[in-house]
Amino acid sequence: MLVGAPSRTVDRRVVDEHMQELRDLAMTAGGEVVETMIQRMDSPTPQTYIGRGKVQELKALLGEKGVDLVIFDEELKPLQAQNLERGLDVRVMDRSELILDIFASRARTGEAKVQVELAQLQYLLPRLSRMWTHLSRIRGGIGLRGPGETQLETDRRLINRRIAELRKKLANISEARATQRRQRQGEYRVALVGYTNAGKSSVLRALSGGDLFVEDRLFATLDSATRRVDLGSGYDALVTDTVGFIRKLPHHLVASFRSTLEEAREADLIVHVIDVSRTDWEDQRSVVDEVLEDLDLADRPQLLVFNKVDRITHEEEEVVRSRMHTLDQTPAAFTSAVRDGGLLALGEALRARVRGQRPHVTVHIPAGAGALLAAVHREGEVLEQEEDGNRIRLTARLPKSLLGRLRQEPHVSFAEP
């Protein structure tokens, strides 16, 4: 049973979209949705979120439908969830707990598993009186319980200890990522962000020709992936796919995934991928913008990518283009990861960004320095080349890493272009 309790001021279309998304989440987690209930409210009831009469109505409906789980679209306080379970006599979850459960089932790498477990334990800690368990899975090495200590107190102590361990692990992971980023200095870095299932992984796979896992479902991938993308004309970039966002994303989860999202903080460009085939794409864009703001990333250079144009008509695409041209100054590209040539606009936009980052220089290289000349042609964009006696004069745009190597060569000189 899905339960929504939106404010009376929220538009009906928005309510329907939120409940459909909750249904998708429940089905992603392996549930079968048999009924949906919506109660519009001025404000939540402190004890049970929804009113007492609605609780009784809900309980009767549960028995009639044979429901064994109720999922609220709103975040419930521990007391509200406890009172609801007592009143309904079935398991009660809120949207945050459901998302955490999905993340736990999707985590594949050690880093993702640490991040999800930390978020789950932080969510669980204030709710232990309702969700009491022996926690044998994380108890390792018990035997420190003092005389008279209750099981609940023991569990709290064990969870706090485990949270401290996980935070230490994440700190080590974050430091390792920082080391990797330092090794990539001089490279042009791009971070893909967006609402879950907007097509970020599909875009990266199509750009790089890599073997990324792609599936049309919510939170298909949690682990960030970085691929080198050849943009043509001697340009390339390191493009990273990050975890997708969603409405009401649990704040514990955002905090746990900060080490992963640091890739976006260090990026030269944030590419915000939007599923333009959705009628609520503007709402989804706002959700992602809010999360970026929470992460202090709102001021980063950004490129909007309106993906999945193969799912809309040409007229609908023109409406969006016109809207972006008149109302929004953010650069945008329209793409399809499944259509031939569907990523040309994005590739051109990225290439222009990389080109703008490369210094425009004139360099004189000895004619016999074949390895250096080959490196300039391979890694840079040569605009002009002419022989000058025993030296080759090249006007080119060069990456900073190559410039650094050339400046260390004693027989190489630079001049104004």
**Per-residue pLDDT reduced to its tens digit, 23-81:** 999 998 899 999 999 999 999 999 999 999 999 999 999 989 989 999 999 999 999 99
**Which candidate, 216, 235, 236, places its Cα nearest to that of 227?**
236
Q: Tokens for 312, please give them.
A: 């809309």
Domain final position from 45, 80, 100: 100
189 alpha-carbon distance from chain centroid: 16
- Do 159 and 306 have their domain in common? no
- Do 84 and 33 have their domain in common? yes
For residue 260, what pLDDT is reported? 63
Residues comprising the chain, all counted? 417
- Do 242 and 340 have their domain in common? yes
41 touches 10 (CB < 8 A): no
Q: How confident is the model at residue 312 (pLDDT cuts 50, 70, 90)?
A: very high
- Do 295 and 313 have their domain in common? yes
Residue 232, amino acid: G
Domain final position from 356, 381, 405: 356
- Do 215 and 352 have their domain in common? yes
For residue 252, what pLDDT is reported? 73
- Do 362 and 392 have their domain in common? yes
- Does the predicted model carry a pTM greater than 0.75? yes
3-state secondary structure of 283: helix
- Do 336 and 366 have their domain in common? no
Which position has the higher pLDDT, 234 or 191?
Answer: 191
286 φ/ψ angles, rounded to the nearest 5 degrees: -65, -40
pLDDT at 121 exceeding the cut of 50: yes
387 φ/ψ angles, rounded to the nearest 5 degrees: -85, 140
pLDDT at 138 exceeding the cut of 60: no
Contacts 24+ apart (CB under 8 A), 369-375: 369/409, 369/411, 369/412, 372/406, 372/409, 372/412, 375/402, 375/405
CATH number at residue 95: 3.40.50.11060
Q: Tokens for 292, please give them.
A: 């970026």
Section 356-369 average pLDDT: 87
3-state secondary structure of 400: helix
From residue 358, give the alpha-carbon distance in Å to each of 153, 180, 187, 367, 399.
59, 22, 10, 24, 5
**Which residue's structure tokens are 């050690």?**
110
pLDDT tens track for 252-296: 777 767 666 767 778 899 999 999 999 889 999 999 998 888 888
360-366 sheet: strands from edge to edge: 381-388, 391-397, 360-366, 413-415
For residue 322, what pLDDT is reported? 87
For residue 135, what pLDDT is reported? 44
Which position has the higher pLDDT, 384 or 252?
Answer: 384
Q: What percent of the chain has pLDDT over 90?
A: 39
- Do 73 and 135 have their domain in common? no
Contacts 24+ apart (CB under 8 A), 127-130: 127/78, 127/81, 128/152, 128/155, 128/156, 128/159, 129/78, 129/82, 130/78, 130/81, 130/82, 130/85
- Do 394 and 379 have their domain in common? yes
- Do 174 and 300 have their domain in common? no
Could you give the number of structural domains in the chain?
A: 4
Range of the domain at 406: 358-415
End-to-end CA distance of the chain: 69
Domain final position from 81, 100, 119: 100
Report the alpha-carbon distance of residue 241 to residue 279 in Å, rounded. 24
> Taking CA 401 as the corner, what is the angle to CA 396 and CA 402, rounded to the nearest 5 degrees?
40
Number of H helices, E strands in the chain: 14, 14
162 touches 121 (CB < 8 A): yes
Q: Tokens for 185, please give them.
A: 């200095």
- Do 209 and 311 have their domain in common? yes
CATH number at residue 195: 3.40.50.300
Report the alpha-carbon distance of residue 355 to residue 352 in Å, rounded. 5
Give the count of alpha carbons within 13 A of 11, CB side only. 5
- Do 233 and 128 have their domain in common? no
pLDDT at 22 exceeding the cut of 50: yes
Q: Tokens for 226, please give them.
A: 């970085």
